[in-house]
Amino acid sequence: MRHKPINNKLFVQNRQRLAELMAPKSLAVLNANDVLPTNADGTLPMQPNADLFYQSGIEQEESILLLFPDAADNQHREILFLRQPNEHLQIWEGYKHTKADARKISGIKNIHWMSEFPVMFRSLMCEAESAYLNSNEYKRAKVEVETRDGRFIRQCRDDFPLHTYRRLAPLLHQLRAVKMDLEIEMLKEAIDITAKGFQRVLRILKPGVAEYEIEAELAREYIKRRGKFAYPPIVATGKNNCVLHYLQNDQVCRRGQLLLMDVASSYANYNADLTRTIPVNGKFNRRQKQIYNAVLRVLRAGVENATVGKLHREWTKEAQAHMNDELLKLGLLKPSQVKKQDPDNPACRKYFMHGLGHPLGLDVHDVGDTNSPFAPGTVLTVEPGIYLPDEGFGIRLEDDIVVTEDGPVNLMSKIPIETDEIESIMNR
C-alpha cells in the first residue's frame, strides 16, 4: 500500500449507500481480482479490484466482501474474508493484512479468514432470498479471460440453482459516478503528482531527447511522490502526435516538432488524466500555435458547458459544433462539408475523431451511465484534439473537471496550458 492511510469513513459511507439500493433480504458479494500469470512462473503486478476497494479499501489478493443488510444477526451484515497470514507467506511475499489491520482500513468489524467463507456463505445464502453478484459490465470491455467473479457466479448457480440472482454492477456504477469529497481529495493528489511530472518535462525537453527518456523522468516524479502511471504513457513526437494510442515511446525529439504527452499519475487507485502538447525546441511556430489555440478554445468551452443536468451526448455535440467552427476558420473544412454533414458523423471527425471526454475515477475510463445527466460530483476529462497527419503533427489538450451546482471546476487549472506560459517556462 504505497499511499497514505485513507479515512475509512469513505468506505463506511459507500457501503451504506449501496445497502440503500439493494432489494430486501438480499446479499452482495465482491471478489478481489486474480493475480494474472505471464510466462514461466511470472505474474503481473496485483491490480486491486476497483469495486472491492470502493466498498472496503482492501487491495489484497484473495479477498471477499459479503454484505447482507437484512441479516438476522447484525454481525453478518458486513463480513470481510482475507487470506490468512502465515510464516511461508511472510518469507516469500511479505506483509498480509491482520484482522486488526483490516478493521482499521475498512471500518468492518467482522473479519474472517478465507477458509471460513464456504460454510458461512452457505448459511447466509439459505437465509437470503436473492444475491447480487458482480461482473465487468463496462460497455467497451472485451472480456476473453474468465475472472474470479465469473468463476464465482458459475459456482453459485451450481450450488444454489433456485435463488434469484441480481446484477451488482449497475448499482455500483450509479454510486461510483458521483464522487464523494474524500475521493475528490485523492484525485487532487493524483493531479498534483501529475503536475510535478509535467513541470519537470518542461524543464528538460530539448532536441535530441528521446521519448523514452521523457517517460523515465515522469516515472521518477510519480513514484517518488507515492504515485504510478495511471495508464500506459503516450509520449509522442512528430507524426506520432496523430496516433491516438501511441505506445512505442522510442523516437528522438527533433527541432521544430511537437511532443504530445498523454500521461498521468494515479494515487490511492484514483487516476488523473492529462494531455499536453509542447514544442520540442521551446517555441511554437505560427501554424502550430494557430491549431493549438483552436483546440484550447474548444477545451475551455467544453469545460464551461459541463453543467448539472447536461447529457453526455449533448455535451459532445456542442463540442463538435464548436470544432466545426474552428476548422472552418482554419480552412480545414469548407462550409459545404458542414452543411451536408451527417448529424451522427459530423464533418469535424475527419480531424477530431474521438469523444470530448469520459468519466474519471477508480478507472481511467470510469464506470457510470453516460445516458444519465451530469450530477454534482461527476468527474470528467475534457480532451479535444486536431490531428493533421499530412502536416506531420497533431495537438490534443486535456484537463480533468468536477461538475458542481455552482458550475464546473477545473481541477487542473494550475497546470500550464497557454502557449506563452509554456514557452516562458521552457526558455527560463
Cα separation values, 1 from 91, 364, 376, Å: 18, 20, 30
Query: Within its chain, how far is the Cα of 354 from the centroid?
Result: 17
Q: What pTM value is reported for the model?
A: 0.96
Q: What is the mean pLDDT of the chain?
A: 97
The Cα–Cα gap between 408 and 306 comes to: 6
pLDDT digits (tens, 9 = 90+) for 301-324: 999 999 999 999 999 999 999 999
- What percentage of the chain carries pLDDT values higher than 90? 94
26-31 and 130-133 beta bridge pairing: parallel
Q: Active-site residue numbers?
A: 41, 245, 262, 273, 354, 358, 365, 383, 387, 396, 398
Domain span(s) for CATH 3.40.350.10 in the chain: 9-176
Residue ranges of alpha helices (H) inside 205-311 are 211-224, 286-305
- For the chain, what percentages of helix, strand and coil (3-state, to nearest 5) are there? 40, 20, 40
Strand partners, 165: 131
Domain span(s) for CATH 3.90.230.10 in the chain: 181-426
Which pLDDT band holds residue 248 (cuts at 50, 70, 90)?
very high
In terms of CATH architecture, what is 9-176?
Answer: 3-Layer(aba) Sandwich (3.40)
In terms of CATH architecture, what is 181-426?
Answer: Alpha-Beta Complex (3.90)
Residue 98 CB neighbours (<10 A)? 13
pLDDT digits (tens, 9 = 90+) for 186-213: 999 999 999 999 999 999 999 999 999 9
The Cα–Cα gap between 270 and 286 comes to: 38
In the predicted structure, residue 1 carries a pLDDT above the cut 70: no
**Side chain identity at residue 365, one-letter code:** H
Counting Cα atoms < 13 Å in the Cβ hemisphere of 25 gives 8
pLDDT digits (tens, 9 = 90+) for 110-169: 999 999 999 999 999 999 999 999 999 999 898 889 999 999 999 999 999 999 999 999
pLDDT at 134: 97
The Cα–Cα gap between 370 and 209 comes to: 40
pLDDT at 52: 98
